Amino acid sequence: MLNFSSDFGGSGFTPLVSPETFPDQRGGGHTVDLLEYQGKQFFATYGIPVSDGAATDNVDEAVAIADRVGYPVVVKAQVHTGGRGKAGGVKLANDADECRLHASNILGLDIKGHIVQTIWIEHASDIAEEYYASFTLDRSAKKYLGMLSAQGGVEIETVAEENPDAIAKIWIDPVDGLSEAVCRAWVLAAQLNPAATDGAVDILRKLYTAYVEGDADLCEINPLILTPTGQVHALDAKVSLDANAVYEHPDYGQYDETQPRDDREEAAHAKGLQYVGLEGSVGVIANGAGLAMSTVDVINQVGGKPANFLDIGGGANADVMAGALEVINNDPNVKAIFINIFGGITRGEEVANGIVEAMGRVDLDSPIVIRLDGTNADEGRAILAPHLSDKLMMEPTMLDAARKAVALAKA
């Protein structure tokens, strides 16, 4: 039950990667992603200490908020992506003039393709130390996974890579919950400043309650800070709610308006395709949800980043294939396309003909790597053979094809 360790207890894929890059399909439903200020308001309802502040979309109001909460203030871009600090989306203001300047600079700023429409102004905190804390679900262990680190403020993926021992992990059986004693042992294992222990235990237990009772998929505080006067406090909030549970929480309707729109998903869904947009550079087309999921995982495994999940189901004909290629081709992040087909009811030669015809219809920017196996794969490969070039490649196995596509995407 209680398990402090730096590996993931025998699961084939690290939960750090899969739920993050692929939240929807593994969750069996979509998530509702909160902006920082919504996450802080969510936290506050569970008694987690956050700074006094308010959100706005205009500069005059930003100054009025700053006057009310008291200087210095922090002006923070509200977008559905992290790393805002590095991108110039988090600025300290000591007076009204600085607040006005930062507010006008940050509103309209493009942060990784997200245009800032809302800013959050809060009273600035003094920071002695920055920590990291989160709860998520380890699906393979069927337990909640708590992660706590004395190395906060930076991306947790970086800590996980460079210094995995600096993350104290705890697997919590939902039946047991997180007792005070267990939580304290976890905090001690993370080796925070002793002055932070009591405050951290209190916040982590409240965060756990928020995670469970709020039906969240992810609750993350980075940084969780210790102030010079010994207060522990949430300075950032990343919350994803399980969309399947929305009907149990009527107030979650308030988040509809601020949900990020993914143009790729809208275009794909309009074509009737099972598509989920991801952030990477390898476009994925596969037949069957299971194979599509494995394709996404294998791309991650060989060091690449999938741009999407796309299951074309049984219909690997030219129309479906052309539609799928069009959607993927319109994604500017895509640098290579991996078509992974295992012929079953849909036979290899039908798939091959569909691909050849679709390629004639869509003017592709990226090379395609195909892995074709299953029923009539030999016939299908024979059809593709005369069309092979540096724009259309074939590999014998899923792993070979993934490696090839990832290499092309990085080239």
Binding site for Mn ion (CB under 5 A): 222, 236
- Shortest approach of ligand GDP to residue 349 CB, angstroms? 50
Kindly list the distances between the CA atom of residue 351 and the CA atoms of 285, 339, 345, 383, 401, in Å, as whole numbers in the listed order. 12, 10, 11, 10, 17
Task: For the CB of residue 44, give the shortest distance to ligand GDP in the complex, in Å.
Answer: 16
Candidate list 153, 214, 323, 380; residue touching ligand GDP; CB under 6 A: 153
Annotation says 275 is catalytic:
no
Alpha-carbon distances, residue 193 vs 47, 227, 228, 230 (angstroms):
22, 11, 11, 10
Comparing CB distances to ligand GDP, the nearer of 157 and 378 is 157
Give the residue with the Cβ less far from Mn ion, 217 or 395.
217
Smaller CB distance to ligand GDP: residue 99 or 341?
99
144 is an active site residue: no
Cβ neighbors of 337 (< 8 A, separation 6 or more) are 282, 283, 284, 285, 325, 328, 364, 366, 367, 368, 369, 405
370/374 Cα distance (integer angstroms): 13
Q: With H, G, I as helix, E, B as strand and everything else as coil, classify residue 8.
A: coil
From residue 77 to residue 116, the character string flagging contacts with ligand GDP as x (rule: CB under 6 A) and all else as - is -----xxxx----x--------------------------
Q: C-beta of 164: minimal distance to ligand GDP in Å?
A: 20
Count of Cβ atoms closer than 10 Å to residue 330 Cβ: 14
Spatial separation of the C-alpha atoms in residues 326 and 285, rounded to whole Å: 11
User: Would you say 162 or 319 has its CB closer to ligand GDP?
Assistant: 162
List the single partner that 83 binds among ligand GDP, Mn ion, none, CB under 5 to 8 Å by kind: ligand GDP
Q: How many residues at the interface with ligand GDP, by CB under 6 A?
A: 15
Half-sphere exposure of 232 toward its Cβ, with a 13 Å CA cutoff? Answer: 25
Residue 343 binds ligand GDP, judged by CB under 6 A = no
Q: Which of 236, 216, 233 is nearest to 225 (CA)?
A: 233
| Least separation in angstroms between CB 177 and ligand GDP | 28
d(CA 370, CA 381): 10
3-state secondary structure of 197: helix
Selection from ligand GDP, Mn ion, none that 341 binds (CB < 5 to 8 A by kind) is none
CB 3 within 8 A of CB 170: yes
Kindly state the smallest distance separating residue 82's Cβ from Mn ion, in Å. 6
In whole angstroms, the minimum distance from the beta carbon of 22 to ligand GDP comes to 21
Establish if 65 lies at the interface with ligand GDP (CB under 6 A): no
Judged by DSSP in three states, 56 sits in strand
Q: Which residue in 55, 74, 172, 341 binds ligand GDP (CB under 6 A)?
A: 74
> Which residue, 98 or 236, is less far from Mn ion as judged by CB?
236
Rank residues 136 and 222 by Cβ distance to Mn ion and give the closer one. 222
Per-residue binder mask for ligand GDP (CB under 6 A), 16-55, x = binder: ----------------------------------------
- Determine which residue in the list 98, 217, 220, 236 makes contact with ligand GDP, applying CB under 6 A: 236
Helix 96-106 vs helix 59-69: crossing angle, to nearest 10: 140
Looking at beta carbons only, is 44 or 364 nearer to Mn ion? 44
Quick one: what does residue 243 bind among Mn ion, ligand GDP, none, with the CB cut-off 5 to 8 Å set by partner type?
none
253 binds, among ligand GDP, Mn ion, none (CB under 5 to 8 A by kind): none
- In terms of DSSP bridges, do strands 282-286 and 336-343 run parallel, antiparallel, or are they unpaired? parallel
Say which of 98, 129, 131, 132 is annotated catalytic.
Answer: 132
| Residue found under tokens 């009310």 | 68
Q: How far is the CB of 160 from ligand GDP (least distance, A)?
A: 16
Tokens of 284: 């994925």
Helix (H, G, I), strand (E, B) or coil at 221: strand
Q: Considering the complex, state which of residue 152 and residue 304 has its C-beta at the smaller distance from Mn ion.
A: 152
Nearest to 90 by CA among 181, 153, 156, 30: 153
Task: Provide the minimum distance between the beta carbon of 394 and Mn ion in the complex, in angstroms, as a whole number.
Answer: 43
DSSP letter string over 101-117? Answer: HHHHHHTT-EETTEEP-
Per rule CB under 6 A, is residue 130 in the interface with ligand GDP?
Answer: yes
Q: What are phi and psi of 306, to 5 degrees?
A: -65, 140
Residue 263: Cβ-neighbour burial (10 angstroms; 0-12, 13-18, 19+):
exposed
Instruction: Just list the catalytic residues.
Output: 132, 220
List residues binding ligand GDP (CB under 6 A): 74, 82-85, 90, 124-125, 127, 130, 153, 222-223, 235-236
